[in-house]
Structure 1
Amino acid sequence: MNFEIISDTETLARVCEQARQCDAVMLDTEFVRTRTLYPRLGLIQLYDGKQLSLIDPIELNDLSPLWALLSDQSVIKVLHACSEDLEVFQHHAGVMPSPMLDTQVMAAFLGHGLSTGFATLVEEYLVVTLDKGEARTDWCARPLTQRQLEYAAADVFYLYPLYHLLAEKIRETGWQQAVSQECELICQKRARQPDPEKAYLDIKNAWQLRPEQLAVLQKLAKWRLKEAQRRDLALNFVVKELHLWKMARYKIRSLDHMIEEGFDRFEIERHGKRLIGMAHEADKLPSEYHPEPISRLVDMPGYKQLVKVVKDEINAVAESSGLVPEFIGSKKQINQAIKWAWVHDRSPDKCPDLLSGWRDELLSSRVMPLLDKK
């Protein structure tokens, strides 16, 4: 397994231009994220079947040849379990690899579990046991050891034959278009940016709050998200989620009250007065500016029964198609479909996954009549 470390723009441009002559290239990233909101990129692996390159983003100031490759529609970008890699590309490049195929998704269309790991597939299809001992390494540290470099290189070196084996089996089953649709759906979801105005909806137990309390939570959660983005700091390292909820729920409006409720000293020293000031501002909002109460599907009549019968239909489809039920329709996707029918008045802009793309062909005739029965 030979590889080249790329640390200058001229070599990167040459490697990427060569890769753009291929039908498909293998991609992977190594990154670190402990206290940061965004992943810190440590290494990018690229393999076109001939040239295996370990691209050093710490040494390189200009990665534009690689970003151009990601956008080249004539070259398929192949990844495994791509969600976090897509987040890396979206943040650092502002682009998604397109077109993109995920071998974990391909394996799911061949009957594997949705979260089947790369090492598991390599062992099954290539009869090779990978060393995963460097999985928790600090990829932003320099220099990287030979073992770390070989570990990183293996992820794309074995991805190449694995992809071609899976692609052949996918052609035999006729799922090619479905694979493309599912991978495109993943890219679309990862490209969406969080809406600061709706950040409060992600706070645990926000549904327990009254509209005037939600107004406080909304203002605080919006500020926390923007502060986290500005400082590149994980949300709970700005202010803990529970503490935002407590400020809204228990009307905490003093530093002493914060101490009583267990706020961290650093939270109080750095943000205490600002949080209290924003809470007071939200208290003054007229009721017409308060958010709507949060209604939970689980509290709606008939919800549990509907989930059960939808799951029964998904299980029946899974048995006939050979796909695992959770891949056809996860709990989250079932809830999305019910919310679309019961809360969003079947808005075309919010069409759920279960009734879109390849899932629509399998499930529409089974699920739509169930949604109609409310």
Structure 2
Amino acid sequence: MNSEIKLHQNDLPNDLQLGNQIAIDGEFMGLDVKRDPLCLIQLSSGNNDAHIVQLDRKNYNAPNLKKILEDEKIIKIFHYGRADLAHIKYYLRANTNNIRDTKIASKLARSYSDNHSLKTLIKEFKNIDISKQFQSSDFGGELSPAQLKYCANDVLYLHEIHNKLEDILKREGRDNLYYECLKFLNVRVELDLASFKEDIWSH
């Protein structure tokens, strides 16, 4: 099945409706939040669509996108949201609410594995072997069709993966632990932005 990939400049369209459960991912110029700017945000409604927003890095003015991120009624599904949320907060000045995270869910649910990458999860639950060739590419300029496809792959499967991980968590009685972990995620982002990278609970 071919997916619908749309590239938007600066912000999402005013009339775009993505529903109340959205998969989200971001692309940056690197992992140092204050050095490496946020370039793209990609979103999917879970209906085989991907909307990629190429942000205006001069002002990061994206009110439609920011409204979705801050809407407490809309569930946002990330994979390793910690990095995305830090860049979103720093550059878009948005406090993202109602978060889910497939990496946290995988670490709690899939204790039979030590690999919790998105590529691994897509292979296990969808039997699709995606390419991560463009993971370390320049997302700051003009985007190639291959880069757009890579960005789309990061959100197209998150709804189904999260549903299956939730099923395992509930079956194994770990779902409450997962939801409690999610409550801490924005605090962990605040610690990252304040340069506390270490585990503050360690001896």
Percent of residue pairs identical: 18
Q: Displacement of 1:110 after TM fit? A: 1.0
3-state SS of paired residue (1:125): helix
Q: Displacement of 1:137 after TM fit? A: 0.5
Structure that is richer in helix per residue:
1
Q: Displacement of 1:189 after TM fit? A: 1.8
The match for 1:173 is: 172
Q: Displacement of 1:169 after TM fit? A: 2.2
The match for 1:37 is: 34
Q: Contact conserved, 2:9 with 2:53, CA < 8 A, in 1?
A: yes
Q: Return the letter of the residue paired with 1:46.
A: L
Q: Contact conserved, 1:38 with 1:91, CA < 8 A, in 2?
A: no
Q: Displacement of 1:58 after TM fit? A: 3.1
The structure showing larger relative contact order (alpha-carbon pairs under 8 Å, at least 6 residues apart) is 2
The match for 1:369 is: none
Change (3 A) 1:175 1:12: farther
Q: Displacement of 1:40 after TM fit? A: 1.0
Paired residues, what number? 197
What CA distance in whole angstroms lies between the structure 2 residues aligned with 1:140 and 1:147?
15
Change (3 A) 1:8 1:140: closer
Structure that is richer in strand per residue:
2
Alignment of 1:141-290 (within 5 A): 141-142=141-142, 144-192=143-191, 193-194=193-194
Q: TM-score, normalized by length of structure 1?
A: 0.48
Alignment of 1:272-351 (within 5 A): 332=199, 335=202, 338=203
**Which structure has the larger Rg over C-alpha atoms?**
1
Q: Quick check: 1:76 aligned with 2:78? A: no
Q: Quick check: 1:2 aligned with 2:1? A: no
2:43 aligned residue (41, 46, 51)? 46
Q: Displacement of 1:39 after TM fit? A: 2.8
What CA distance in whole angstroms lies between the structure 1 residues aligned with 2:33 and 2:162?
32
The match for 1:104 is: 103
What CA distance in whole angstroms lies between the structure 2 residues aligned with 1:152 and 1:76?
20
Q: Contact conserved, 1:104 with 1:115, CA < 8 A, in 2?
A: no
Change (3 A) 1:94 1:62: closer
What CA distance in whole angstroms lies between the structure 1 residues aligned with 2:31 and 2:99?
27
3-state SS of paired residue (1:109): helix
Unaligned runs of 5+ in 1: 203-330, 339-374
3-state SS of paired residue (1:141): coil
Change (3 A) 1:138 1:108: same
What CA distance in whole angstroms lies between the structure 1 residues aligned with 2:71 and 2:110?
31
Q: Deviations over 1:269-324 (max 9, x none)?
A: xxxxxxxxxxxxxxxxxxxxxxxxxxxxxxxxxxxxxxxxxxxxxxxxxxxxxxxx
What CA distance in whole angstroms lies between the structure 2 residues aligned with 1:38 and 1:14?
34
Q: Displacement of 1:176 after TM fit? A: 2.5
